[in-house]
């Protein structure tokens, strides 16, 4: 039996990277999927692929940095599916992730906070009534939060998501809601573009990962998120799951 049969999952940032890998893995485990992102074309491409796998889907073009878009996303989900069992907060503006503290401008700072911890929290709050009684929240951190040099504001935003996740695990545990953080290192459009521009970067990155490779969005991240979204992890909450091949703590 598929692990996510009869579960409805809202996935932000679904069209690329780890979000896309999660959507593919969830579809193969029987979940109904709400695909949230800013670019309709890439969402629809993924939607076709998921429907070919037999998944029931809903595409919502939205900017998670805007509260009205978050509210519209949840409203449409309830209209179509009637509930929400899993919330995956994968979306995050990547703008100038590596900018030093003296270089980053206020607009970029605001964007990082609005699309990161603020968006994650607002989505969690909007989904809370429907997650009661067994729901799972999966938020995304970053290796930058452990080695912040050169990534200060981005790292701070990801660290804030970590603390919001832990607070939800404590405050909402009595509601039957679990909340966990994952920290992936996977192939994504941004990572692959950077490595194509600087061939040495890929070698350096791989050398920093004890398992010797960059993760696959579906097999290395999506499958782990299936576990966190399923009843197999019903006693797991408030934890951080490193999905980075040992990069942060073993290199």
Report d(CA 194, CA 190) in Å as an integer.
6
Catalytic residues: 154
pLDDT digits (tens, 9 = 90+) for 109-139: 999 999 999 999 999 999 999 999 999 999 9
pLDDT at 222 over 80: yes
List Cα–Cα distances, 222 to 86, 139, 140, 174, in angstroms: 13, 13, 12, 27
Q: What is the mean pLDDT of residues 57-66?
A: 97
Cα radius of gyration rounded to whole Å, the chain: 17
pLDDT at 96 over 60: no
The span from the first CA to the last CA of the chain, in angstroms, equals 38
pLDDT digits (tens, 9 = 90+) for 19-59: 999 999 999 999 999 999 999 999 999 999 999 999 999 99
Predicted confidence band at 217 (pLDDT cuts at 50, 70, 90)? very high
Could you give the domains of the chain?
8-187+216-242 (3.40.50.720)
């Amino acid at each position: 039996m598929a692990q996510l049969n009869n579960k409805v999952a809202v996935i932000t940032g679904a069209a690329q990277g780890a979000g896309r890998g999660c959507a593919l893995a969830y579809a193969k485990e029987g979940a109904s999927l709400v695909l949230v992102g800013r670019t309709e074309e890439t969402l629809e491409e993924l939607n076709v692929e998921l429907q070919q796998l037999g998944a029931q889907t809903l595409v919502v073009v939205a900017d998670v940095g805007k509260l009205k878009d978050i509210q519209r996303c949840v409203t449409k989900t309830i209209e179509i599916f009637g509930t929400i069992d899993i919330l995956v907060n994968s979306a995050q503006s990547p703008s100038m992730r590596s900018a030093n503290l003296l270089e980053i401008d206020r607009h970029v700072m605001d964007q990082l906070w609005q699309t990161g911890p603020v968006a994650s929290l607002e989505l969690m709050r909007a989904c809370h009534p429907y997650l009661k009684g067994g729901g799972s929240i999966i938020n995304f951190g970053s290796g930058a939060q452990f080695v912040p040099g050169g990534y200060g504001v981005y790292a701070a935003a990801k660290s804030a998501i970590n603390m919001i996740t832990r607070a939800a695990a404590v405050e909402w545990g009595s509601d039957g809601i679990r909340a966990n953080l994952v920290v992936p290192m996977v192939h994504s459009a941004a990572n692959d573009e950077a490595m194509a521009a600087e061939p040495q970067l890929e070698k350096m990155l791989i050398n920093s990962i004890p398992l010797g490779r960059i993760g696959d969005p579906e097999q290395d991240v999506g499958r782990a998120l299936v576990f966190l979204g399923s009843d197999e992890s019903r006693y797991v909450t408030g934890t951080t799951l490193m999905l980075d091949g040992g990069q942060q703590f073993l290199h």
